[in-house]
Amino acid sequence: MGRTFKRLLLLAAVLCTSIVLVACGTKTDNTNGASQTNTDGKKKLIVGTDATYAPMEYMDAKGNIVGIDIDIVNAIAEAAGFEVEYKNYGWEPLFPALDNEEIDFAVSSITIDEERKQSFDFSDPYFIANQLILVQESSDVASFNDLKDKKVSVQINTTGHKAVKKLLGKTNKNIVAAETMPLAISEMINGNADAAVGDNAVVIEYKVNNPKVKLKTVEDDSFEKEYYGLMVKKGNQEIVDLLNDGIKKIKENGKLKEITGFDVE
Ligand code: ARG
């Protein structure tokens, strides 16, 4: 009797294990990130962004996430055969969202830099940019070096922030680090900073869209070329390969140049 009972127990254990295995089996299309597979067999990737960055990624009047980066990612997705769903995270929360696998990748005019490469993986570059200074039209600022003893606003933890820390010193109280780029620019317009520093496309767009505020841009050759990439959780090679496949295709078929107006080597 005792023996039969033991057998029954063993059988139950085996059955339970296989039930668990079956349950796991149905989830295998969900490994590595937030992606799901649609009924038509296409992968749907969840894409995080900071939609405060016109013309690159921003909210249109209807609340849709739009912009040049979005057009590029849509083209990449079409070329590589996957679907996308955009989620607006804001800038700083993007990084933990990747680590926590809430999103499969991030698009946000993110510069591929050595420091970030320690903690994240990047696609191949798809866009070239550089920093640009924005000041009041009456300002005497003529170069980046002129900002040394001035108050400078930036978006926190961006390459602009890094460049300004390098010039002014890491802990300099004259650095105004705002949550978003539009807020950084407001600080300058309101007189809380003498200059704002940020990515060229975004600085130019702001100036063009706000002609009533008398602003001017100041270029400086000392700003390095920056290459934007799509950012992926460290080690998620599957997504990097998929994105690079799409990027390669839209570079080859001219779609990327059609969107941005220039070639990226
Ligand atoms: N290119 C800069 C960087 O990578 C700024 C990017 C900010 N992007 C944004 N959507 N706020 O640091």
Q: What is the structure's pLDDT at 134?
A: 98
Ligand 1 geometric centre to CA of 127 (Å): 12
Do the beta carbons of residue 67 and residue 73 sit within 8 Å? no
Ligand 1 geometric centre to CA of 123 (Å): 16
Q: What is the structure's pLDDT at 11?
A: 43
Ligand 1 geometric centre to CA of 14 (Å): 52
Q: Which fold has domain 36-128+227-260?
A: D-Maltodextrin-Binding Protein; domain 2 (3.40.190)
- Nearest ligand 1 atom to the CA of 159 is 12
Kindly list the averaged pLDDT for each block of 10 residues, start to end, along the chain of length 265. 48 43 39 72 95 98 97 98 98 98 98 98 98 98 98 98 98 98 98 98 97 97 97 98 98 97 86
Q: List pocket residues of ligand 1, CB cut-off 6 Å.
A: 50, 53, 57, 91, 108-111, 155, 158-159, 181, 199, 226
Q: Which pairing describes strands 36-37 and 65-66: parallel, antiparallel, or unpaired? A: unpaired
- Nearest ligand 1 atom to the CA of 49 is 10
Which residue, among 128, 151, 127, 138, has the nearest Cα to 71 in the 3D structure? 127
Q: Which fold has domain 131-218?
A: D-Maltodextrin-Binding Protein; domain 2 (3.40.190)
- Nearest ligand 1 atom to the CA of 69 is 10
What 3-state DSSP class applies to 38?
A: coil
Q: What is the structure's pLDDT at 29?
A: 44
70, 88, 110: which to mutate for ligand 1, most atoms within 8 A of CB?
A: 110
Q: What is the pLDDT of residues 56-111, one digit of tens each?
A: 999 999 999 999 999 999 999 999 999 999 999 999 999 999 999 999 999 999 99
Ligand 1 geometric centre to CA of 114 (Å): 15
Q: What is the structure's pLDDT at 14?
A: 42
- Nearest ligand 1 atom to the CA of 111 is 4
Ligand 1 geometric centre to CA of 111 (Å): 7
- Nearest ligand 1 atom to the CA of 91 is 11
Sign of CA pseudo-dihedral 133, 136, 142, 144: negative
Q: How far apart are CA 124 and CA 102, in angstroms?
A: 22
Q: What is the structure's pLDDT at 23?
A: 41
86, 165, 199: which to mutate for ligand 1, most atoms within 8 A of CB?
A: 199
Q: How far apart are CA 85 and CA 211, in angstroms?
A: 34
Q: Which residues pair with 260 in a beta bridge?
A: none
Q: How far is CA 98 from CA 85, 139, 148, 169, 240, in A?
A: 15, 40, 35, 30, 13
Cis amide prior to 96 (ω within 30 degrees): no
Domain residue limits, the chain: 36-128+227-260, 131-218
Domains 36-128+227-260 and 131-218 fall in the same CATH topology: yes
Ligand 1 geometric centre to CA of 29 (Å): 31
Ligand 1 geometric centre to CA of 110 (Å): 5
Report CA dihedral (215, 216, 217, 220) to the nearest 10 degrees: -130
Which amino acid would we find at residue 48?
Answer: G
Tokens (6 digits) for 149: 């003893």
